[in-house]
Amino acid sequence: MTTASPSSDPVLSVRNLSISFKGGRRELPVVHGIDFDIHGGETLALVGESGSGKSVTSFALMRLLPDARHCVIRGSVTIGGVNLLELSERRMTAVRGPKIAMIFQEPLTSLNPVHRVGDQIAEALRYHRKLTRAQIRTRVLELLTLVGIPDPESRMTAYPGEMSGGMRQRVVIAMALALEPDLLIADEPTTALDVTVQAQILELLRDIQKRTGMAMLFITHDFGVVAEIADRVMVMYSGRIVEEGTLEDVLTRPRMPYTRGLLASVPRLEDAGLKKGALGTIEGFVPTPGDLPQGCSFHPRCPYAQAGTCDTMMPDLLPHGKPGHPVRCARAEDAALNPTCMEDISA
């Protein structure tokens, strides 16, 4: 876990963010009115299964979704007092990189296979900064060194296909950090990596954040990773935030059954070799945006669902227990009677 000391004013403030895709005359909502802030030096983890709306949310923050003919984004996304959703594409181009940057999920598809990695890192520097060729080269070498790539002199002339998955991910991180952004969005940055390289990447991100004080939105489905990187956690399901709180509160006192299901599915080192039974599972699948059930979207999969309550009305996101720990569950207090304790999840 990081040891951030968040600044008083948020780097990013999101209010009532809603996203819909257009199909003919119909709008299909995929994200439903989410709110959150991220402060400098803080890591906020956005957690959920595939199809929950995490990546769509991150693409909306970067203004990388299709144009208004195909996608409608409502609400506000504010950085430095400016609502990014109101900017023209030209002005938004000046924000991407210096203010907000993103590490995409798959490094191989994020890099152009026919261009050398040094040139790809230098592209943002050439566009946004008035630097000489020598200054750009020096900065590229600094970035490659910063992200822990050995022999940066020779690596900067390599092509992505000549590098391992872990090295490619480091290059993508270097590209994202080239302009020293205030906010870094990391979209599943360790999913395709083995556990050893994954640990190295997480350590690298923690170290860079400590040096620069940047804010970070870390998107993942893996609570094991969350335990290593996050200060606060938001759990997302079917385009809605269903639980939010500090890392300790969410890991040790989960109130939403969906959160508990995700936690129960994480293997624990202390159980290795012991007959503890199968890992926990959540039956069924995340519903498609066009086929959401009535009431709570999770109730068809929820072991605590109660007929006449959970299947009739979508619960609000309301505080339960400690302040700053809201939960979207009509039976949050009942589900908390025997909370799953995951204090040693990061062991």
Mean pLDDT of 54-77: 94
**Residue 226 near residue 47, CB atoms below 8 Å:** yes
In the predicted model, is pLDDT for residue 305 greater than 70? yes
Rounded to an integer, what distance in angstroms lies between the CA atom of residue 317 and that of residue 325? 10
Instruction: Give Cα separations from 167 to 149, 156, 170, 180, 228 (angstroms).
Output: 7, 11, 5, 20, 21
pLDDT at 270: 56
Who has greater pLDDT, 270 or 12?
12
In the predicted model, is pLDDT for residue 335 greater than 70? no
What's the maximum distance between 2 C-alpha atoms anywhere in the chain?
A: 69
Who has greater pLDDT, 246 or 5?
246
Task: Give 3's pLDDT tier (boundaries 50, 70, 90).
Answer: very low
In the predicted model, is pLDDT for residue 44 greater than 50? yes
Task: Give 275's pLDDT tier (boundaries 50, 70, 90).
Answer: low
In the predicted model, is pLDDT for residue 122 greater than 70? yes
pLDDT at 276: 61
Mean pLDDT of 50-73: 93
3-state secondary structure the chain: CCCCCCCCCEEEEEEEEEEEEEECCEEEEEEEEEEEEEECCCEEEEECCCCCCHHHHHHHHCCCCCCCCCEEEEEEEEECCEEHHHCCHHHHHHHECCCEEEECCCHHHHCCCCCCHHHHHHHHHHHHCCCCHHHHHHHHHHHHHHCCCCCHHHHCCCCHHHCCHHHHHHHHHHHHHCCCCCEEEEECCCCCCCHHHHHHHHHHHHHHHHHHCCEEEEEECCHHHHHHHCCEEEEEECCEEEEEEEHHHHHHCCCCHHHHHHHHCCCCHHHCCCCCCCCCCCCCCCCCHHHCCCCCCCHHHCCCCCCCCCCCCCCCCEECCCCCCEECCCCHHHHCCCCCCCCCCCC
Task: Give 5's pLDDT tier (boundaries 50, 70, 90).
Answer: very low
Task: Give 323's pLDDT tier (boundaries 50, 70, 90).
Answer: confident
pLDDT at 332: 84
In the predicted model, is pLDDT for residue 178 greater than 70? yes
pLDDT at 1: 44
pLDDT at 67: 87
Task: Give 2's pLDDT tier (boundaries 50, 70, 90).
Answer: very low
pLDDT at 83: 97
Mean pLDDT of 103-108: 80
pLDDT at 165: 86
pLDDT at 347: 44
Mean pLDDT of 306-325: 89
In the predicted model, is pLDDT for residue 74 greater than 90? yes
Rounded to an integer, what distance in angstroms lies between the CA atom of residue 77 and that of residue 64? 13
Query: What is the β-pairing status of strands 10-23 and 26-39?
Result: antiparallel
In the predicted model, is pLDDT for residue 342 greater than 80? no
